[in-house]
Structure 1
Amino acid sequence: MGEQQLTRALGSWRGTGEPLSTGLARAVREALLDGRIRAGSELPAERRLAAALGVSRGTVTAALARLRETGWVHTRHGSGSLVRLPAAVSGRVAPLSATGDAGAMIDLRRAVPAAPREQYLEATLRAAERAGHVLADHGEPGPGLPELRAVIAARYTREGTATRPEQILVTNGTRAALTLLTAHFQPRVTAVEIPTYVDALHVLRAAGTRLAGFQVTGDGWDLEQLASAFAAARGGLAYLVPDFHNPTGTLMSPNVRRTVAELAARHQVTVVADETLRDLDLRDEPTGIPRIAGALLIGSAGKSVWGGLRVGWIRARASLVRDLWRHPLAGPLSAPPMEQLVATELLSDLYPVLSRRRDELRAQRDHLCALLDGDDRWRFTRPPGGLALWLRLSATPADTVVRHAGEHGIALVAGPHFAADATLTHYLRVPFTPPCSVLDRVAAVLGSC
């Protein structure tokens, strides 16, 4: 890479108030992450680069030393310096936005994992090698590639829910799955948890359905409110996240699952159970998790693998899958065939990814719990799974804490965003997806509020 090409790639990087060498190192990292610099590119010699950037050679030397120490640059004696993604990035659990490595802000507004880079790239190569039959076809995915439907069905069967491939409809994520189901059933009222998955609220509101809420805390589901909400949603839908609930991390007990099934039968409510977080079981001694009898099941690879893998699914009776497939929205909400091939490769052998992810998330959860425990300004229940802590603030409104955190470089989301009725003003979600060093900073900022 020539010095002029690198200068253009770095863009405007001065004027941030930080030392020039720090700013230059940051600019190189950001350009590499944005794709403006290709990993493996050779950097110009220090003297030429300094002249092109209008800085001293010492500034360039210090910036490269910083990048070399953190693994972003590799120098081979006599052969120059190459930019690269360090192992900490390629094997990370948290995305760059959640650690501050992609900019000044630690962005925790989404509790999401980073891609398992090595396994993802290997799966992509394997998918490309056997893509001939897909590329030779018309490209319309229909209800999903047969091999992916078979892999998903086999996972359900292994977990005790006998499933045939024709009971699986592949979508481009859980939001797409919920959108398609809502468009098909056109519910007048939908029962929803408070709090719940933000994007699910967006989907349901856009469909014009009235929301009947019931409370979930770190201690579980409010059964009286649950019964009232199902009665209000008679003949409609109920959207639930029973497995490591988003955002509380709570696991629905077998007794509550039976109650949900009974209420659904009594009030003719169709239950949609979102199992996106089911794989993120952080219990020390996991046991089998039963499913809600009669529920339609939706899931995706978004939390277990990566949000950028836009593949989800619906598990339902085969006749309903056929009806959904014929819906006008089924095509636009389906996943591209090549992504389905990649998902097939990853879901066929997910254990290596999940094993490491669970271990790291468990350690990070425990670290954050230890940092926040014993402070009377909030209380929380240690979640058995999921990606975040759900804090109940004792006095300070959550919006105040969010503003304070933002002023100190940390972006969080207050409780009302997760509520169908704009309540939960004293609740705050704090993801434990970042590494412990970042969680230390998060806890310090919360403690200074």
Structure 2
Amino acid sequence: MDGTKTEQVEGLVLRRIERGELSIGSRLPSERVLAERLGVSRVTVVRALENLRRDGVLETKRGSGTVVRPLDRLLDPVAPVSTVTAGDQPVLDLRFATTAAPHDVAEAAVQIIEDGLPQAMGGDGPPPGGSQELRVALAERLTQEGVPTEPSQLTLTVGAAAGLNAALAGLDLGPGVAITESPTYPAAFDLLRKHRLDVAGWPAGVWDTDQLAHLCRRHRPKVIYLQADNHNPTGLSLPADRRTAVVEIARRYGAALISDETMRPLWLASGKQAEPLSRYPRTVSVGSLSKTVWGGLRVGWVRTGKQLRRRINTAAQLSVASPSALDDLLAQAIIPKLDKVISRRRTRLRTNLNALETGLKSLDGVVWPTPTGGMTLWLELTETRARRVLEAAREQGLLLGAGDLFTPDATDRRHIRIPFTAPPATLRMVVARLGTAISQST
């Protein structure tokens, strides 16, 4: 390993904490025991622990020893732990914008074991479409966020993709054409095509409403599926002054409008966020707790009118697409903590994004728009093709998503998606390896 003996010990302790091997509040072995286990002097251990105490990672209490403090980055690590090769070289797999669970999930799990689980074990779990209790909690949450919602408007699913699938099943629009942003969330293409809809792309980030109207005149789409807020993969948002026009164009051409608002809570820009498309009447919206809380919490929803909800309940096989009893209870316990979780996550993501952009400024041949939010940055390579760079990056132990995966016709050759869920130190490694890959490819 690089660095002094003291820095090596600091790094070992930090890695054990960030991997969850040392949990918040857990007690470290004594300085003597640590020195023996690590094969270093006790003086080295003392210095390393003192540095970690100064950084706020550890604290020592008389009679209790040295324990791990509840730092924000430990309460919400955002990024899952990277895999490590035999040579202790981390493989940086950023192909998926996934999130680790914040510490609040563990607290909520303890709460449901004590409170909700014993009673739930007496039945078969929540009904198809989710429990009344969770739908009430989510409806109250959406109403607080400015989208008046009744529990009867919500159908609960195992995630946003399942929500989109349920909405399309209830609408039963195919065969025909769907318009969606290009690039966009890749699973959306598969779902739209599964429901007999050919996909036409509307350039994301540009969001030219005249072009949208032209596409509608040409294709007469059955549905328009958009991520207007903190869009995946660009991280951009549909400008506020174009939202009414988008809704009016959808109505003029008789297209159902589906708004995916999974990323909406992760607003990172300094200005005021635009009102969601779900505020407009007859807009179908889908959402999820996967990005705001944890990818392992399988709770999403569809917000619709009551008539469409009945059709969804009939058509979407919700008995296999609804949250489990444990997910339902865990979501109920998490929702009261959601403001705190989201605030902390925004802070971490802003810090990560700043580190990523600072690093990218040192590279030649790349440009990008600064995201308004979300978890991903859309990097354009101006001098070489993405696939060539990604092949070189793989040799460096860096895995990223190519732009052609995010376009309906798979024609993008210049873009790479970079999630900024990893901490700044990891993102600096990402930039260094990417820079090497670009230089090898041009």
The TM tier, using the shorter chain, reads 0.7 to 0.9
What is the rounded CA distance, in whole Å, between the counterparts of 1:193 and 1:155 in structure 2? 28
Task: Give structure 2 stretches of 5+ with no counterpart.
Answer: 1-9
Q: What is the match of residue 200 of structure 2?
A: 213
Partner of residue 226, structure 2: 240
For 1:215, give the aligned amino acid. Answer: W
Report the equivalent of 1:303. Answer: 291
Greater displacement, 370-379 / 391-400: 370-379
What is residue 113 of structure 2 aligned with on the other side? 128
* Alignment CA distance shift 1:213-1:376 (3 Å): farther
| Residue identity opposite 1:294 in structure 2 | R
Which residue of 418, 424, 432 maps to 1:436? 424
Equivalent position amino acid for 2:264 in 1: R
Q: Distance in 1 between matches of 2:354 and 2:22?
A: 37
Q: Secondary structure at the match of 1:428?
A: strand
Give the counterpart of 1:91 among 70, 75, 78.
Answer: 75
Matched to 1:95, the amino acid is: A
Change (3 A) 1:130 1:325: farther
What residue is the counterpart of 1:142 in the other structure?
128
Q: Which amino acid aligns with 1:123?
A: A
- Counterpart CA distance in 1 for 2:233 and 2:70 is 31
Q: Distance in 2 between matches of 1:282 and 1:445?
A: 26
Say which of 191, 194, 219 aligns to 1:203.
191
Partners of 2:169 and 2:195 within 8 A in 1: no
Q: d(CA) in 1 for partners of 2:77 and 2:12?
A: 23
Which TM-score applies when normalising by structure 2? 0.80
Aligned to 1:162: 148
Offset, 1:233: 4.6
Once the two structures are superposed, the pairs formed by residues 107-122 of structure 1 within 5 Å of their partners are: 107-117=93-103, 119-122=104-107
1:104 to 65, 86, 90: 90
Bigger shift: 357-366 or 311-320?
357-366
Percent identical among aligned pairs is 31
Amino acid at match of 1:440: R
Q: Provide, for residues 3-52 of structure 1, a one-character-per-residue CA deviation record: whole Å limited to 9, x for no partner.
A: xxxxxxxxxxxxxxxxxxxxxx9999999999999998999xx99xx9xx
Q: Distance in 2 between matches of 1:424 and 1:162?
A: 39
- From the superposition, tell whether residues 379 and 438 of structure 1 become closer, same or farther in structure 2 (CA, over 3 Å): same
What is the letter of the counterpart of residue 420 of structure 2?
Answer: F
Deviation at 1:331, TM superposition (A): 0.9
CA distance, structure 2, for counterparts of residue 327 and residue 300 of structure 1: 21
- 1:134 is displaced (CA, Å) by 2.4
What is the CA–CA distance in structure 1 between the aligned matches of 2:80 and 2:52, rounded to whole Å?
14
Q: d(CA) in 1 for partners of 2:20 and 2:359?
A: 36
Report the Cα distance in structure 2 between the residues aligned to 1:361 and 1:81, rounded to whole angstroms. 29
Partner of residue 351 from structure 2, selected from 360, 363, 372: 363
> Retained in 2: the 8 A contact 1:180–1:324?
yes
- SS of residue in 2 equivalent to 1:326: helix
Structure 1 residue runs without a partner (length 5+): 1-24, 51-55
C-alpha deviation, 1:163, in angstroms = 1.2
Letter in 2 for 1:212: V
In the aligned structure 2, how far is the partner of 1:75 from the partner of 1:258?
57
Residues 419 and 178 (structure 1), Cα distance of their counterparts in 2 relative to 1, 3 Å cut: same
Q: Secondary structure at the match of 1:105?
A: strand
Match of 2:137 among 148, 151, 168: 151
Task: Check conservation: 2:230, 2:371, Cα contact below 8 A.
Answer: yes
- CA pair 418-98 structure 1, distance change in 2 beyond 3 A: farther
In the aligned structure 2, how far is the partner of 1:302 from the partner of 1:249? 17
- For 2:320, what is the secondary structure of its paired residue? coil
Which residue of structure 2 lines up, in the alignment, with residue 20 of structure 1?
Answer: none
Partner of 2:161: 175
1:348 aligns with 2:336: yes
1:283 is the counterpart of 2:269: yes
Aligned-residue offset at 1:302: 0.6
Change (3 A) 1:227 1:250: farther
Query: How big is each residue's C-alpha offset from its partner over 1:264-284, in whole Å with a ceiling of 9 and x where there is no partner?
Result: 112221111100000000012
1:290: how far off?
3.6
* Separation of aligned partners in 2, 1:367 and 1:89: 15
Q: Is the CA contact (8 Å cut-off) linking 2:265 and 2:292 kept in structure 1?
A: yes
Taking the aligned partners of 2:324 and 2:214, their CA distance within structure 1 comes to: 40
Whether the 8 Å CA contact 1:97–1:105 is kept in 2: the answer is: no
Query: SS state of the match for residue 446, structure 1?
Result: helix
CA-based RMSD of the aligned residues comes to: 4.2
Render the CA deviation track for 1:78-132: whole Å, top value 9, x for unaligned: x9999x9996874243323458699731111111232112x11111122222324
- Does 1:373 pair with 2:358? no
Determine if the alignment matches structure 1 residue 315 to structure 2 residue 315: no
Residue 194 (1) aligns with residue 182 (2): yes
Instruction: Classify the secondary structure of the residue corresponding to 2:302.
Output: strand
Amino acid at match of 1:203: L
Q: Distance in 1 between matches of 2:18 and 2:146?
A: 42
